[in-house]
Structure 1
């Protein structure tokens, strides 16, 4: 009897709280209803008084906007009613056609929303605290606690259902607080309590076993999902989270994956169906996410349980495809197809899950089941409904993951990498090679053939969907062939794969011609099909050349392919083929970035006529011609890419030809001042060419190229010619040649002249700082050549600064500086060039400084006198030149007012 009283008291306390709580909610709703009616009545009276003053014409003009506003309000009410619980259905037509309600006050928000939410949370916490108190005080046994919790959960669910049914008579009040739905809050609290009761009975007290606990909690979760159709999305989220968490709450000593797989199928189907019926997109997303997360957990299964993982991935992929793509777009026209982000996101997630599962080396015979099944579901869905056309690319990715994760031969796996030191020349051969090749061939053939068929029979496809089908039909087979080539030959030269690529390219050409013979401009499907398969043929040709050629021929082959494709675009406007040329350019650029030396050591012995012309010269010429052909149609990023590649390849050709001519190889670790000087000259000349070419055609590539080559020349001059490779400081670097015609002429004087030429050509075409830097670089290199040449005349081929410097050599420096300054001054005066005069001034200042700082102490006798006499005479002459010819002004002779005239 005591236990019964205690149970009744435990139940009475929350029930009394419920009664008071919902009585308060009911009164609040009635007050809101009265306020809304009063506001509408006042507004109607105001409008009625103003209507008598309006004219008939104004009334007629305002009828149409009012009708449109009323129609829009009705449509918005219908959309809200479709997304809200049944008990909170939209208001009648009188409310929908009425005026907008005033904004909610703080009192209304707290009373109608937060009171409901916090009340539901308080009820759930109250039940938990009651159970905790009973445990701490040892008031009840386990059975009484479980029974009391079950009764409490049932009471909450019953009151929630009662309020939902009685809510139908509230009229417009239900629309006032749709997000704070009291019946839904109570049902959610009851659901949480029911979950807690079953979990406690299983995990805490051991009253029920794993099977019964799993069944009860799963039934509660599914029932919660079903009740969400009446109580709204909040309850659906609770039921979905609980449903996916049920297997984690059940503790079993011998867990079996198959019951969980079957249970998750029911949960996912219920979640997708609920989301589809009520159009709750986020419920569908959460369902797909839960299925993917459980799939990740299943990836750790081993042995016979691998079948459960395969079944989960395939069935969940099929459920997502059906509920998110196939069923919603059943019977939809291709013309109205737009990519569905929800469907594509779910398919992409399950494709990634299948790809991870295919990397398991212990998958065995289930590999074909998982890979083939996922491929068929993804590709079949994409072919069936155009909004899921991206699934064709996901299918190709699944097939690629299957080939990538294909196990190697058992012998190779057993031996491992310890047979021989270093990396093996070829990768281990895949096991069951015929099945490996057959799988790749079937998947690639299905992608190409069915993608082509989908484009042929669907004239109404929009552009994006057609592009996705074309990409899957062309890029997919090429990617699978590349993976197979890597797995079998390790990207080594392979004539069989090259022939297969050639056959695939021929098939693409035939497919493109089928689109060309039709109405190629009538629909996107035919136009994109023509362009896509033409680009695929170009890709297959490039891939075949890659597989067959070596010795630096790959870059040349790709460049020639780009040139041929550019010519084709001049015969037929194929937009995708143009971008395929861009892809080839990106591949070549990546090849250059990965290894700038496109060719090995066997280049040839001739200085210019060697394999470098084929590896760099031919691609440079091909990309240059391709840029010209492409620019005839339009000037875009593809043209810029081909121009940049032509410029880069030409520069690399000159760079490596210089190295090969001087050292005999392009990877020689040594260099000298002659090579560095020639590299600087080539950089300056390339900068000069870009500046000159921009006079005929403005191009960002040419402008940036001039800055790049100028920067390279400056860096090479400062780091190489001035510092590291300067024979004045290097013990191993000697001057080659005679007293005048020697390596210093090529290494220092030629770069100086080239820098002056660049500065003159850039005047008016480049910023002032660029022109000034070029002139300053030329002056510095010319000065350095003068010093080194004088040193060569007195010291011979070894001009290291550690050798003794004679007085005659010191005097010669002063005389040379002064003479050079005078020559430049004369040239500057005659040509009217202020920069040249400034350079001459620098030489003269250098001569003055040397005379006073060096010659005064370093020279003796007549040489010191001659040094200062010559310097003084030169300075006086320079002053006269500036006074007479540069800054000279005719003397002003104003007439004196009192001077007598000649006539007088």
Structure 2
């Protein structure tokens, strides 16, 4: 009995809190209405004052007789009860008023009602406890006395309402709540305490009390409805199970339908949502704790879940026509339909073939689709059906092909038919077209994996490719048939995107069966083409989704292929993972997708300038460069320094050429993504050149394989092209990157000069030692290096003079001085006596000659204009 008392107290506390919330909402609504009425009255008064004569004086407004007769305190209470605050009367505007909470009214009028109801229940509990301790009454008398008390309180509630006593609304509701509580207590005493009734009788009696509470809620308010819902849904759990599933189904359906009928009639959509929530909880208990899907067909449980989805929509049929749609009215059916669908799917996944859950799921989709068509304001129900269908396809792993076809064949016409009907009626055409295309794509892709898996897709990719092409052709035919209509302008972008996606899947199946990453990248190019045609920004966002999907798939597939040795098809979604290492198939995984991404970004860039386009550019360029690297990398072998002129003729020109092309397009068309991508590729290629060529050559000499003869060899192809491209990259990167770009450009051009210098050294070495550049360095070879350095210095001098580039002339001077020093210090280092003296004499004369050459040909200092020419030379030598 103590537990029973605690339950009663908690219920009454909840009822009081709910009443407080309802009163607050009512006050807010009354305040809004009065503010609107006051604003209209003020406008009318202003118009009358403007039209009246200037000398006319306004007549004094008589004070309301009711307020005069009742006194100021009663007038203030009347204003508070009507929702008008004291601030409103003292002149506060409707936008700035803030009505205070009247604690006196709460303590004097509202709380005593529910406090009295709680005390009445407590008194009944004390009387029953005393009677049991003293043995005054027999168990049967106690039970019937409790039932008689329930009837008396219910009669008192009707009497209070009939007589319209003061505060009759709250008092009658409280008395009715006490009556319902005593009714539940009667069933509890008769069943659980005294075992006077069998459990079936107790459950039936509690259900009857709940139905009575739901019925009288039309008269006594929503709190009685909530109490009836709690007791009605909990009765089978607390007081014993019903006879079988069909009896339980009939009972719960009665409670559900009755509660929604009352809620729809009175507009209590919050209570309707509460009833749906309790019904879903019952469905979960029934489905996952009572029902056994492996031996029961589950038809009764399926019908219960369908009833949960249907009842909120049907409740709108009994709603008053003048009722305004509230938020709970919009969201309640969605929540109920979504919850029932999720349970149907989860139960269907675990059930054996022949269970009723998947047919019930199809019936669920059909009901929502039909309801959305018959009641257009409930279009969101068709969206719920589509969402549930997608969830089912994602969660439904390893299904029987026959069962899957049995769901797909009726489900696709249902959801797509609803979309077509809404489009034909002109309702949110682009949204429904997008939803229909998405449903079709998910169905095709999930079926491709679930029906055949990877092995099947690789065995017969042509069949799936033909199916995708056929669907794409059908979509294009629809676009052609609707061309020029207003409907076509709305549905063409999503339909064209869907056709492009299907074509991408078909191409991916032919190139690499089942490799969804390639299809995702190709779809970016397709979306770019559609965007270029229709200019719908949503397509750009969708392209970003595909870019992210592509990057995620290649990363996951490569990680699984290289790090995981087991069979991933046993994973929940293992069949969707494309297990393919990047270096095993760089063309399919990186090169073709990279080209597709850059192509898609180019098509987007033709129509719009956006940072998202730059992201696609950047990702596509780096993916392409990585694919080229992995395609050429096997040629490097274990020692990339030795084979640098084997793979280098392809690797360096391709990477540096890609970077140069990207930087040129960026400077010409403002493609910032290409600028940053090209800069990164150029830096990485330059570092690779230093690491594999420049630094090893300083060891004089590493082992390097060079095919060809002196000058006409692969080293010339590698280093000359690399040097020229580095100079071009330096020129392209300077004007775009600001001060940092200027220094980066100088660095690239300097590296290009160093590369050319290294080419000269390697060429001379290869002429003397063609076998891996190995062998003793002869004196004539050293003089060859000196001659080559001198020629290089004069070449730089000529180039710097012709282009008026001081940096190049300074570099030529440094090379010339280094050449002279090498000649007389190292090449002639073995001379002795007069030869040694003559070498130093020659070194001095050579340095004087270098000075004369620069003064005469660089700075223009002539013999007849010594003073003037010297001044001019100093001026030209000074930096700007």
Please indicate the TM-score interval, normalised by the length of the shorter structure.
0.5 to 0.7
Contact 1:509 1:537 in 2 (8 A): yes
> In the alignment, does 2:106 pair up with 1:112?
yes
1:195-594 matches, cutoff 5 A: 195=184, 198-199=187-188, 202-204=191-193, 206-252=195-241, 256-300=244-288, 301-302=291-292, 303-304=295-296, 306-323=298-315, 340-362=330-352, 364-396=354-386, 398=388, 431=400, 433=401, 436-437=404-405, 439-449=407-417, 451-456=419-424, 458=425, 461-463=426-428, 466-491=429-454, 492=457, 493-516=460-483, 520-521=485-486, 525=487, 527-529=489-491, 532-547=494-509, 550=512
Distance 1:186 1:798 in 2: 110
Q: TM-score, normalised by structure 1?
A: 0.63
Distance 1:200 1:806 in 2: 117
Q: How many angstroms does 1:226 deviate by? A: 3.7
> Which residue of structure 2 lines up, in the alignment, with residue 692 of structure 1?
664
Q: How many angstroms does 1:258 deviate by? A: 3.7
Distance 1:357 1:845 in 2: 87
Contact 1:508 1:534 in 2 (8 A): yes
Distance 1:830 1:593 in 2: 51
Distance 1:61 1:725 in 2: 102
1:116-195 matches, cutoff 5 A: 116-117=110-111, 120=114, 124=118, 131=125, 139=133, 143=139, 184=173, 188=177, 191=180, 195=184
> In the alignment, does 2:752 pair up with 1:763?
no
> Which residue of structure 2 lines up, in the alignment, with residue 76 of structure 1?
none
> Which residue of structure 2 lines up, in the alignment, with residue 81 of structure 1?
none
Distance 1:188 1:841 in 2: 105
> Which residue of structure 2 lines up, in the alignment, with residue 57 of structure 1?
52
Distance 1:507 1:889 in 2: 77
Contact 1:224 1:239 in 2 (8 A): yes
Structure 1 residues 236 and 758: CA distance shift in structure 2, 3 A:
farther
| CA deviation profile, 1:96-125 (whole Å, cap 9, x unmatched) | x9999986557x325526984587369648
Q: How many angstroms does 1:703 deviate by? A: 0.9
Structure 1 residues 91 and 789: CA distance shift in structure 2, 3 A:
same
Distance 2:849 2:206 in 1: 106
> Which residue of structure 2 lines up, in the alignment, with residue 708 of structure 1?
677
SS in structure 2 of the partner of residue 764 of structure 1: coil
Distance 1:840 1:477 in 2: 68
- The number of equivalent residue pairs is 759
Contact 2:582 2:589 in 1 (8 A): no
> Which residue of structure 2 lines up, in the alignment, with residue 722 of structure 1?
691
Structure 1 residues 687 and 371: CA distance shift in structure 2, 3 A:
same
Contact 2:348 2:355 in 1 (8 A): no
SS in structure 1 of the partner of residue 349 of structure 2: coil
Contact 1:403 1:436 in 2 (8 A): no
Q: How many angstroms does 1:310 deviate by? A: 1.3
Distance 1:61 1:627 in 2: 75
Distance 1:846 1:122 in 2: 109
Structure 1 residues 158 and 710: CA distance shift in structure 2, 3 A:
farther
Unaligned runs of 5+ in 1: 1-9, 15-20, 26-31, 37-42, 67-87, 175-180, 333-338, 409-429, 605-610, 891-904
> Which residue of structure 2 lines up, in the alignment, with residue 29 of structure 1?
none
Distance 2:180 2:845 in 1: 106
Q: How many angstroms does 1:535 deviate by? A: 4.6
Distance 1:166 1:837 in 2: 113
Q: How many angstroms does 1:471 deviate by? A: 4.0
Structure 1 residues 113 and 220: CA distance shift in structure 2, 3 A:
farther
Contact 1:790 1:812 in 2 (8 A): no
1:34-113 matches, cutoff 5 A: 57=52, 108-109=102-103, 111-112=105-106
| CA deviation profile, 1:847-879 (whole Å, cap 9, x unmatched) | 9xx99xxx99xx999999989x89997999799
Q: How many angstroms does 1:61 deviate by? A: 14
> Which residue of structure 2 lines up, in the alignment, with residue 74 of structure 1?
none
Q: How many angstroms does 1:359 deviate by? A: 0.7
SS in structure 2 of the partner of residue 490 of structure 1: helix
Q: How many angstroms does 1:313 deviate by? A: 1.6
Distance 2:231 2:816 in 1: 91
Distance 1:831 1:114 in 2: 99
Distance 1:829 1:246 in 2: 102
Structure 1 residues 557 and 823: CA distance shift in structure 2, 3 A:
same
Higher relative CO (CA 8 A, sep ≥ 6), structure 1 or 2? Answer: 1
Q: How many angstroms does 1:398 deviate by? A: 4.9
Q: How many angstroms does 1:370 deviate by? A: 1.8
SS in structure 1 of the partner of residue 352 of structure 2: coil
Distance 1:781 1:443 in 2: 65
Distance 1:226 1:704 in 2: 68
Contact 1:470 1:532 in 2 (8 A): yes
Distance 1:763 1:632 in 2: 25
Q: TM-score, normalised by structure 2?
A: 0.64
Distance 2:320 2:807 in 1: 75
SS in structure 2 of the partner of residue 354 of structure 1: helix
Q: How many angstroms does 1:760 deviate by? A: 2.2
SS in structure 2 of the partner of residue 696 of structure 1: helix
